[in-house]
Structures are given as structure tokens and as C-alpha cells.
Amino acid sequence: MGPTALITGITGQDGSYLAELLLSRGYRVIGLLRRTSTTSIERIGHIQDRLTLVSGDLTDEVSLINLLREFRPAEVYNLAAQSFVQVSWSQPVLTGETTALGVTRLLDAIRIVDPEIRFYQASSSEMFGRVRQVPQDETTPFYPRSPYGVAKVYGHWITVNYRESYGLFATSGILFNHESPRRGLEFVTRKVTHGAARIAAGLQRELRLGNLEARRDWGYAGDYVEAMVAMLARDEPTDYVIATGQTHSVRELCEVAFGTLGLNWEDHVVVDPALLRPAEVDLLVGDASRAARELSWRAQVDFYGLIEMMVAADRAALVG
Ligand code: NAP
Ligand code: G4F
């Protein structure tokens, strides 16, 4: 049996890809599952029998201490968060409890139980917000534009602080948007690929969206979890930007997704002012050259390959 890794957020998009990757490398994988009245394991159902799923919550430090004591992982990947930016305006306190203070609870549990544990924090390009520099790299100052972004800045700095205060092997991956067929339906890429597939199948006629001009650096989640593991394998802990270096607008996303299905997006997309955000992040594009140099990491799937993959999966799920 290889090393033991704990993944918080194992039921999420990234958690499912990371669990698959660690299993393929011989790890024993422990997944933190929060209690819900219905099960939320559809992304990991296919590997469930190879995982150890344990009950806990980022808002409950005792549950974190107890499971570190019981399973003694060598590595902890903190992927759990309230991760949807739009909801962070309607639930700012919950977002802060989980996405910000949850990081401190987990770091503190590590400090108390076993300070040798290697820790990965899921930081975000959303921290760059109203960007101070183009492209953004590890030295770009943060200017968050949402309660979620603010919470992630806290999570990032508390990770750096525990590294510097207590000598923990604590790292922060500043990941730009990454997507997949397992992406939640509320995020714009999946909303568009799923919506376009349903329109092509005659199941709906229109798709309501918000800001079509926002630009993102979209990569493939399966590539990005490789960078997380590589970060914890370094001799020294440090922080990395993970990105493709290419940026595209929501409008281009629509053109490509609908175009793949032979549809004209303008016949179907309706801009709904209710979906505009109180403050927007207009442009994100990352410079991942430190990761290329030090981790030998590069994105393998580009924007066009990613959207084609997602449209194909959504179409296949509808037509069988
Ligand atoms: P996701 O699909 O929304 O998954 C979030 C996970 O967090 C789910 O497993 C969820 O569990 C869990 N969770 C939420 N609140 C929790 C709590 N109080 N205690 C324990 N678990 C809790 O997110 P993702 O796209 O995989 O992203 C993974 C991480 O990377 C997140 O921290 C996100 O903020 C960050 N990130 C994502 C991107 C991206 O583009 N995907 C980019 C940068 C950073 P349930 O299934 O029970 O809801
Ligand atoms: O897909 P989104 O909701 O992703 P957003 O806000 O960039 O956040 C994602 O990426 C972050 C990394 O930068 C992560 F940290 C975070 O956890 C999450 O995974 O929205 C992307 C863009 C925004 O500018 C939004 O205003 O798409 C625009 N958009 C336009 N219409 C829409 C819609 N977004 C959503 N979700 N739904 C729409 O109808």
C-alpha cells in the first residue's frame, strides 16, 4: 500500500479526478464526506469501493482532528469550498465559514495532529479579480471582486502564514478556471454545453445567460489535478499559478459549443440581466511558466478540445 491521502471536496469535480489519479498511483485515498439527506457521490460512484469515505465537515474542527488522528494521512488536499461565485453574494457568511475559515480549521488540525503532513490549498484565479497585471502570475497582487474571492484570499494567506509560522509543508495552487464533463451545471461552460445539447435534441429552445463579454482562461480539470500532486512532491513548499495562458469570452464559448452541434448560438442565447453579477471579473489569463519550469506541468487540452469534449459528453448522455 502506498501513502495515504485525504481529500476534502472528494464529491466535487476536482475531487473525483484527483481521487482517480491518486488511486492510479497506488495511494490509499480517504475522502471527507459531509452529511446530507441525499447522497452526493455520483462523480465517484465508479471508484467508491476503492475509497474510504468518512464523515466530517470543514465547519467542524473536531471532526477534522479526529479523522487525521484515525487515518494519519501523509498528504491532505483541501478542495472543499462553497465554490460558486454567484452564490457568495447571497450566502457571504457561509462562504466565509467554509472557503476561508475552513482552511484555518484544517491547517490547525494538521498542526495539532501531525505537522509533517503535506498540505495543498485550492486557491483561485478569482483572487486576481480586477486584474492589476496581464497575464497574472505568482507575483500579481490580489484584488478580489466577490465574497468568494475575498474568502479565497484569506485561505491563500493563512496557508502561507502557517507555512511561515509553523514550518508546515503548506502549498497553494492558484488555479485558473478548469472544467470537464463533470463540471456542475451552474457554471457557465457546462451550462452552455448542456444547454446547447438539449436545444439540439429539441428539449429546450433558449438558454439564458449573463455577461457574454467576460473572459476566462479555461483548462481541463483532468490536467489540473496532476499539478496538485506535483506540487506536494517538491522538496520545498511554494505556490504556483496553473493556467493555459489562453483567454476566451463567454460569447466565444457559445459560438464554439453551439457551432459543434451545427447551431447558431444567436438564435438561442438570451441575455438575462438577472444573471449579471454585482461586481464582475472581466478578464483572467494566467502565466504558468513557473509550473512549466519547476513541475514540468503544461495544459494538454486546449479550449476547443475542452468544449468539444463537454458537448460530446452532454450529447451522449441525452441520446444514449
Ligand atoms: P465543486 O465541484 O463545487 O466541489 C466542492 C466540494 O466541496 C464538494 O465536494 C462539496 O461537497 C464540498 N464542500 C462544500 N462545503 C463543504 C463543507 N462545509 N465541508 C466539507 N465539504 C464541503 O468544486 P471544484 O470545481 O471541484 O473545485 C475544487 C476546489 O477548487 C474548490 O475549493 C474551488 O473553490 C477551487 N477552485 C476551483 C476552480 C475551478 O475552476 N473548478 C478554480 C480555482 C479554484 P458536496 O458534494 O456535499 O456539496
Ligand atoms: O463559470 P462561472 O460561474 O465561473 P467563475 O465565476 O469564473 O468561477 C469559477 O472559476 C474560479 C476560478 O477563477 C473558481 F475559483 C470558482 O470556484 C469557479 O469554479 O462564470 C464565468 C463567467 C463569469 O464572468 C460570469 O459572469 O461567466 C459569466 N457568465 C455569464 N453568464 C455566467 C453566466 N456564469 C454563470 N455561472 N452562469 C451564467 O449564466
Single out the residue of 164, 20, 150 nearest to residue 97, CA to CA.
Answer: 150
pLDDT at 320 over 80: no
pLDDT in tens, 253-305: 999 999 999 999 999 999 999 999 999 999 999 999 999 999 999 999 999 99
Cβ–Cβ under 8 Å, residues 126 and 100: no
For residue range 206-231, what is the model confidence (pLDDT) as tens digits?
Answer: 999 999 999 999 999 999 999 999 99
Residue 40 has pLDDT above 90, yes or no: no
Q: Residues for the chain: how many in total?
A: 320
* pLDDT category of residue 50 using cuts at 50, 70 and 90: very high
- 108 within 8 A of 61, measured Cβ to Cβ: yes
Query: What residues are annotated to the active site?
Result: 124, 126, 148
Domains of the chain (ranges; CATH) run 4-178+220-242 (3.40.50.720), 184-216+247-284+302-319 (3.90.25.10)
124 lines ligand 2 (CB under 6 A): yes
Ligand 2 midpoint to CA 85 (Å): 7
Tell me the sheet residues that pair with 77.
Answer: 7, 120
Query: Cα separations (Å) of 206 from 199, 202, 261?
Result: 7, 10, 15
Neighbours of 39 (CB within 10 A): 9
Q: Tell me the mean pLDDT in the region 143-168.
A: 98
Rounded CA separation 95/81 (Å): 8
- Whole-number Å distance, alpha carbon 152 to ligand 1 midpoint, is 12
Pocket perturbation via mutation, ligand 2, pick of 152, 187, 190 by most ligand atoms within 8 A of CB: 187
Terminal CA-to-CA distance of the chain, rounded, Å? 38
